[in-house]
Amino acid sequence: MHVPDGFINAPTSAVTGVVAAGAIAVSLRGARRELDERTAPLAGLVAAFIFAVQMLNFPVAAGTSGHLLGGALAAILVGPFTGVLCVSVVLLMQGILFADGGLTALGVNITNMAVVTTVVAYAAFRGLLKVLPRTPRSVTAASFVAALLSVPAAALAFTLMYAVGGTTDVAIGKVATAMVGVHVLIGVGEATITALTVGAVIAVRPDLVYGARGMRQKLQLRVNGELVDVPAAEEARTAPVAARTSRRTLWVTGLATSLVLAGFVSFYASSSPDGLEKVAADKGIDEKTEEHAVADSPLADYGVKDVTDARLSGGLAGVIGVGVTVVAGSTVFWAVRRRQNTDASPTTVENV
Amino acid sequence: MGAGHAHRLYRHGHSAVHALPPHTKLAATFAFVVVVVSTPREAMWAFGLYAVLLGVVAFHARVPPGFLLKRLLIEVPFVAFAVLMPFVAEGERVDVLGVSLSVNGLWGAWNVLAKGTLGVASSVLLASTTELRELLLGLQRLRLPPLLVQIASFMIRYGDVITDEMRRMRIARESRGFEASGVKHWGVLAKSAGALFIRSYERGERVHLAMVSRGYAGSMPVIDEVTASRAQWSHALTLPFAALVVCVLGWTL
């Protein structure tokens, strides 16, 4: 989805550039709160991880493969602010060094792929965790949904930018249908991989997963046959109970969601661009762009000429809106809980 | 832990372009791309002139054309997209070889192709004549937030390390007979990604402790301050100014 130069006109690029700069400024401040003076090395290494994991190919079928975009994963693993920073840095470096994504389109790319994905994913994630029981399993389920929403949300944001400052007047409905349609399918892949990865990290080092920090369970000791809470002083050292991800639940949830979505969406985008996808994957595996080729192509248009597009985009916007609202309502709750967590976190090394 | 000693993006050389301070090159590249993007698409000759300008720079930097063209391949997905545009865009249509194409779509395709290619070419030129470390210094000199530059420098420094770690994991998987062929293998790959995250994060923690024990207190000391003389600035900005002249001509003619 890396937008090249000349795709969005200059004024819109400038505005998105300002938006992106603002978001990065906010995230810099927020990341210092999330990671204190460890920000630079940790965020740098996480950015390197995101960069590497984008090169990890996940085979789909018959020679095609996809890869992770990483916005949702970053938000859940290291927190929204650090997530925005990491993905932005990855995009910045890709733009300057690898010529992947135009320099003038940096604002567009960062706003779409770093800010929108991360914020939507984290909002949905937090919102779901409020509703779901506090088990590690619901963390994986929530990350599935979060990643599933984040990708089409970015597509929707791109469509919005295209509507404002696109350089070719392809009917905006077509762009929306093609972008959101294709990206819902990509989102299903992204969601599955993200959920599996978060599950894998939770199983080994649940303390590293930012999104699961509220999940810590109290350490209990069995004294004379009954469970006793450990005194509060030692609680800081409590290791959370390692959780095993139930693959069946994950698959059922994932399958149900993807069935609903795919069934709903394939109604609109019936002619899938298999051929192009294959070609792009064969040609561009090293350039990390195999998905983008199809992502931005309005090929899926062919089967969808006479459909009211407003329904699809409106529905999605609604879903995302609900997620955002739920989170906004529970921000206070969350803030209180987070403060408790920071109090309980182990002290970091003092500066020399 | 030096930044990529001989990174494949960078072509070592001693040309005038290589010798320019990094921040002047960054500014010049960015200004050039901005000028290109704001040129009206109807002025086709202007884009030809831009390409000639870049060619002159490449010649001065002694970047061989084959290298440049190979790196341009990153654009291929967008070429595919641009080819599609004439078929789907709105507006009046014109018959070309019996196929009905949208005039506006043709212009749009040309627009994306020309500006995108020029943008990619200038980025490639920048990356192939500037060392990674210099680029980061240049970004810092251009008043990017220091923290952001630090994050970027860590990403660049450890990017190869982490990628290598991923490669070793792949070799380990493959030497145990694993071959990813479909969706059913995602679990294994995702576990690898999870392990990679944990290793990266823990490496970050170790790096931080190592830095703290060497006196790190939140900011990196600037050892080699890059400065640019007026001559170097004007040298670097020749490119965007020449482009600006072309752009103005494009608007007026």
Whether residue B69 is found in the same domain as residue B174: no
Structural contact between residues A209 and A76, judged by C-beta atoms closer than 8 angstroms = yes
Contacts within 8 Å (CB) and 24+ apart, B215-220: B215/A352, B216/A37, B216/A351, B217/A37, B217/A351, B217/A352, B218/A37, B218/A40, B218/A351, B219/B146, B219/B150, B220/A40, B220/B146, B220/B150
**Residue B222, domain member (yes or no):** no
Domain boundaries A10-344, CATH class: mainly alpha
**Cβ <8 Å between B201 and A49:** yes
**Residue B96, domain member (yes or no):** yes
Spatial separation of the C-alpha atoms in residues A223 and B245, rounded to whole Å: 84
User: Distance (Å) from the C-alpha of residue A99 to the closest C-alpha of chain B?
Assistant: 5
Tens-binned pLDDT, residue by residue, of chain A (352 aa): 678 887 888 888 889 999 999 999 999 888 888 777 777 888 888 899 998 888 877 776 666 667 788 889 999 988 889 899 899 999 998 888 887 778 888 899 899 889 999 999 999 999 998 888 878 788 889 999 999 999 889 888 988 888 887 776 677 777 788 778 888 888 888 898 899 999 988 888 888 888 777 666 667 778 877 777 776 654 444 444 444 444 455 445 545 554 454 444 433 433 333 334 444 444 443 344 434 444 443 333 333 333 344 444 444 444 444 444 444 544 544 554 454 444 444 444 444 4
Whether residue B192 is found in the same domain as residue B242: no
First to last CA, chain B: 54
Spatial separation of the C-alpha atoms in residues A200 and B2, rounded to whole Å: 32
Closest Cα in chain A to B83 = A297
Closest Cα in chain B to A53 = B193
**Residue B94, domain member (yes or no):** yes
A293 inside 8 A of chain B by CB: yes
The position carrying tokens 């001509």 is B249
Whether residue B34 is found in the same domain as residue B126: yes
**Residue B2, domain member (yes or no):** no
Name the residue range of residue B236's domain: 16-138+227-252
Whether residue B188 is found in the same domain as residue B88: no
Q: Please, which residues bridge with residue A64 across strands?
A: A61
Tokens of B25: 């090159």
Q: How many alpha carbons lie under 13 Å from residue B54 in its C-beta half-sphere? A: 24
Overall number of domains in chain B: 2
**Cβ <8 Å between A349 and B212:** yes
Residue whose C-alpha is closest to residue A167's, from B47, B247, B37, B30? B37
Q: Which of A28, A99, A168 sits opposite B104 (nearest CB)?
A: A168
Q: Which of B9, B163, B209 sits opposite A52 (nearest CB)?
A: B163
Domain boundaries, chain A: 10-344
As for the ipTM of the complex, it is 0.86
Whether residue B53 is found in the same domain as residue B132: yes
**Residue B57, domain member (yes or no):** yes
Whether residue B76 is found in the same domain as residue B91: yes
